[in-house]
Amino acid sequence: MRFSKLRLNGFKSFVDPTDLIIADGLTGVVGPNGCGKSNLLEALRWVMGENRPTAMRGGGMEDVIFAGTATRPARNFAEVSLQIDNSKRLAPASFNESDLLDVVRRITRDIGSAYKANSKDVRARDVQMLFADASTGAHSPALVRQGQISELINAKPKARRRILEEAAGISGLYARRHEAELK
């Protein structure tokens, strides 16, 4: 699966619809402090099912919604969509009906999050599993936050093992085992 486009609408500082085209090879994002570079990475993590407000540098999940400025009112929802080139059909069967896979997450104030895959309603868990199995998940070590290297060095062994499991692409397995143990 290859990410081809990230679209943000009302997400953090990206109040107007904004497309980030992810071309083949390396994509660099440069800009002054506070222009929204880290917000882009958080949008990617969020659309893949991240549910910890702390990972989004917020106190609550609704903090990802554009909060308004002196000149623009706050928004009522935030939406991020991720376009994936699935021409190699590497997604799980239920997501595999076309070359393009479009995953959308929207959060609305007082209502919460909803997900769609190719315009069909799906559960958060389906989206999390889709990316966990592709080892690109919301907690993927491929996404390195500012300050994360020092966190990794200071992590306890159990937390460090999780990171290795995600890197090995077996975290979907871990989530399923955890669920089975709860039943």
Q: Does 37 bind ligand ATP (CB under 6 A)?
A: yes
Find residue 85's DSSP bridge partners: 2, 100
B/e letters for 36-66, b = 16+ CB within 10 Å, e = fewer, are beebbbbbbbbbbbbeeeeebebeebbebbb
Residue number with CB closer to ligand ATP (64 or 127):
64
Residue number with CB closer to ligand ATP (13 or 135):
13
Stretch that binds ligand ATP, among 60-68, 80-88, 111-119, 165-173 (CB under 6 A): 60-68
Out of 38, 113, 118, 135, the only residue in the binding site for Mg ion (CB under 5 A) is 38
Q: Does 38 bind ligand ATP (CB under 6 A)?
A: yes
Q: How far is the CB of 146 from Mg ion (least distance, A)?
A: 5
Using only C-alpha atoms, what is the Rg of the chain? 17
Residue number with CB closer to ligand ATP (113 or 118):
113
Q: What does the alpha-carbon distance between residue 149 and residue 79 come to, in Å, rounded to a whole number?
A: 29
Q: How far is the CB of 30 from Mg ion (least distance, A)?
A: 11
Residue number with CB closer to ligand ATP (59 or 157):
59
Beta strand pairing call for 18-21 and 2-9: antiparallel
Q: Does 150 bind ligand ATP (CB under 6 A)?
A: no
63 binds, among Mg ion, ligand ATP, none (CB under 5 to 8 A by kind): ligand ATP
Q: Does 4 bind Mg ion (CB under 5 A)?
A: no
**Binding to ligand ATP, residues 76-105 (CB under 6 A):** none
Q: What does the alpha-carbon distance between residue 115 and residue 106 come to, in Å, rounded to a whole number?
A: 7
Contact residues: ligand ATP, CB under 6 A: 12-13, 31, 33-39, 63, 65-67, 146
